[in-house]
Structure 1
Amino acid sequence: MTGPFTKSTLRIGFEETTVRVAVAAIMPLREVSDTVRKSLKYGQIAASIAEVGIIEPPVVSRDARDRDRFHLLDGHLKLDILRSRGEQEVVCLIGIEDEAFTYNKRISRMATIQEHKMILNAIRKGASEERLARALNVNIGNIRAKRNLLVGICPEVAELLKDHQIPMNVFSELRFLKPIRQIDAAQSMITMNRFTLTYAKSLVASTPEDQLVEGRKRRRRGMSEEQIATMQRESENLDREVKLIEHGYGADHLDLVLATGYVSRLLGSARVVRHLAQHHADILAEFQKIADSRREA
């Protein structure tokens, strides 16, 4: 086999087998504060460990001088919980290189629909709702709400929103809409990058009656038909404006990159900086802001 992904060129990031490591031999990179110990996330991890054990092993790397000592790269809350429980050993993944700065960067919270699918899969495999509630440290009503998350939601919307973190109440609002309007609403949320309950309610409020699900139509309290029509027109105008902005975004962004690059090159010349400092200090200050924003980006 040839090409860029041959055995000789691929680098394995972990030792090929997990290792049972003494908890006392693991050195954390940071301390877990009392504030973190009181957080919801900490409580959920502790409940999960108590109910089903460690699912995702901590990641450690061997100490360069003492091969029996380990530096903790990922899993600080888990290790702290294990220590508080008096555990003596834990199964770990052994990282070949110390890449602690990359692990947290690659962690992302589970999307709402992915969590829904995980719960359905666990129930199909025989896990009870009560056990899931204990493992996730939530009440059973929360588990049932997540189980029924996509009831009344069309498949196209579930596909559109599958990778986003969305409040569950948003799906309650979407259920007021017929499938075609649900898709429009989901696309609007993605375009605007707004997945809040308030925005979902505004989309429902601006929806014509004939696009609401039969039996779910409700009165808009305090809103006349004229106000509703105005809101619909404003929503349509906003959609058009967003699409126009999207159409020109690529060219505008390219122009911005070229301009900031040119300004940065100008400031790389000592003669140019000296001239600007002597005769155009205000322009120099603005140029420096542009160059700094380019470095931060």
Structure 2
Amino acid sequence: MSRIQLGFIPEPISAPLESVLPSRQPSAGLANSRKFKQIVSSIQEVGLIEPLSVMPEDKNLGGFVLLDGHLRLIALRTLGISHAACLVSTDDEGYTYNNRVNRLSALQEHYMIRRAMERGASPERLAKALGVNLSHIISKATLLDGICPEAIDLLKDQQFSPSLSRVIRRMKPTRQVECIELMLAANNITAAYAEALLAATPTDRLVEGKRRPRRVMASEEQIAKMEREMSNLQSRYKLAEQSFGQDVLNLVLARGYLAKLLENEGIMRYLLTHHPDLVKEFELILESVSLEQA
């Protein structure tokens, strides 16, 4: 059995930055960009977290070509740091592997900040390291306060702002789950949509002491109508969710049947002669419907 070769040597090495050559020129105005300032601030406060990715330029001379980490390299040199941790590639990979990395979800970012605080990092230090306001760190750290576990599970892979949490936590747990399911179904996970759902939430389903947004200028009759419509929408959503799997199966079976039907030359001749309009419709179904799209 052939062994899989690792793309990088597992243990990073400490390399002199003067021996690391960038593979591209930095863009103009880089030093004034927010991202670059965040990297500089982070390295000042907590050091280099992600090693540079390099490949040997010449094994005899000991130089390296930088594959990934150009901003980090410039930041390190700006701070006067002479050596840095580097991951050495075992072959010549010309792409930036960070392009294949899924960015952190809101919950992952929350857990990382909470973990850092539990290990002794103060919110002030984290704010300085990341180059953001202290209020931003606090809102991320308290992102899930007042949110029930079921709602958290629904949001685990989503990107959303702390403003959404501030709205959702005003509702009782069952209502939180309902609203998040509606937002996911509509692909609209925003604070504005949550505010609209909050406005249509009956008072008895709000957390004690919480009220609807003051800016919602609606009469009791309008609120009651919104509540009825939202209840109907939730019922239709639940019904569609229950039958979705069976509907997809039926659609796939129907598509397979139509494909075999149109492969039969005799049937095709008959349809083209007597029902050409049906042939066009069948062909459109075969072209537009697939299991992935369903």
Structure 1 residues 196 and 92: CA distance shift in structure 2, 3 A:
same
1:126 corresponds in structure 2 to 120
1:50, CA displacement in angstroms? 0.6
1:20, CA displacement in angstroms? 2.0
Of 38-47 and 180-189, more deviation after overlay is shown by 38-47
Map 1:26-65; keep pairs closer than 5 Å.
26-63=20-57
Q: Which residue of 219, 223, 227 maps to 2:218?
A: 223
Within the alignment, does 1:107 sit opposite 2:101 as a pair? yes
1:151-190, CA deviations, whole angstroms, 9 ceiling, x for partnerless residues? 2111222222122221110000001110011111222222
Map 1:233-252; keep pairs closer than 5 Å.
233-239=228-234, 244=240, 247=244, 250=248
Map 1:192-203; keep pairs closer than 5 Å.
192-203=186-197
Structure 1 residues 133 and 90: CA distance shift in structure 2, 3 A:
same
Map 1:178-189; keep pairs closer than 5 Å.
178-189=172-183
Give the secondary structure class of the aligned counterpart of 1:97: coil
Give the secondary structure class of the aligned counterpart of 1:130: helix
Structure 1 residues 200 and 221: CA distance shift in structure 2, 3 A:
closer
List alignment gaps of at least 5 residues for structure 2: 260-279, 289-294
Give the TM-score, by structure 1 length.
0.74
Structure 1 residues 252 and 84: CA distance shift in structure 2, 3 A:
farther
Structure 1 residues 138 and 232: CA distance shift in structure 2, 3 A:
same
2:265 corresponds in structure 1 to none
Which whole-Å CA distance do the structure 1 matches of 2:235 and 2:91 have between them?
50
Which whole-Å CA distance do the structure 1 matches of 2:251 and 2:91 have between them?
37
Which whole-Å CA distance do the structure 2 matches of 1:153 and 1:23 have between them?
46
Give the secondary structure class of the aligned counterpart of 2:15: strand
Q: Which residue of 140, 151, 157 maps to 1:157?
A: 151
Q: Which residue of 163, 182, 191 maps to 2:185?
A: 191
The one-letter code of the counterpart of 1:10 is I
2:270 corresponds in structure 1 to none
Q: Is residue 152–residue 175 contact of structure 1 (8 Å, CA) maintained in 2? A: yes
Q: Is residue 154–residue 182 contact of structure 1 (8 Å, CA) maintained in 2? A: yes
Rg larger in 1 or in 2? 2
Structure 1 residues 89 and 177: CA distance shift in structure 2, 3 A:
same
Structure 1 residues 208 and 79: CA distance shift in structure 2, 3 A:
same
The one-letter code of the counterpart of 2:17 is V
Within the alignment, does 1:14 sit opposite 2:8 as a pair? yes
Give the TM-score, by structure 2 length.
0.74
1:51, CA displacement in angstroms? 0.6
1:195, CA displacement in angstroms? 1.7
Structure 1 residues 225 and 130: CA distance shift in structure 2, 3 A:
same
The one-letter code of the counterpart of 1:247 is F
Q: Is residue 25–residue 69 contact of structure 1 (8 Å, CA) maintained in 2? A: yes
Which whole-Å CA distance do the structure 2 matches of 1:157 and 1:83 have between them?
45
The one-letter code of the counterpart of 1:77 is L
Aligned-residue identity in percent: 41
Which whole-Å CA distance do the structure 2 matches of 1:239 and 1:35 have between them?
50
Of 180-189 and 19-28, more deviation after overlay is shown by 19-28
Give the secondary structure class of the aligned counterpart of 1:70: strand
Q: How well do the aligned residues superpose, as a CA RMSD in angstroms? A: 3.4
List alignment gaps of at least 5 residues for structure 1: 1-5, 262-282, 292-297
Which whole-Å CA distance do the structure 1 matches of 2:122 and 2:11 have between them?
32
Within the alignment, does 1:84 sit opposite 2:78 as a pair? yes
The one-letter code of the counterpart of 2:224 is A
Map 1:164-175; keep pairs closer than 5 Å.
164-175=158-169
Structure 1 residues 151 and 207: CA distance shift in structure 2, 3 A:
same
Of 59-68 and 182-191, more deviation after overlay is shown by 59-68
Give the secondary structure class of the aligned counterpart of 1:123: helix
Which whole-Å CA distance do the structure 1 matches of 2:211 and 2:190 have between them?
21
1:119-168, CA deviations, whole angstroms, 9 ceiling, x for partnerless residues? 22112212222211211112222222222222211122222212222111
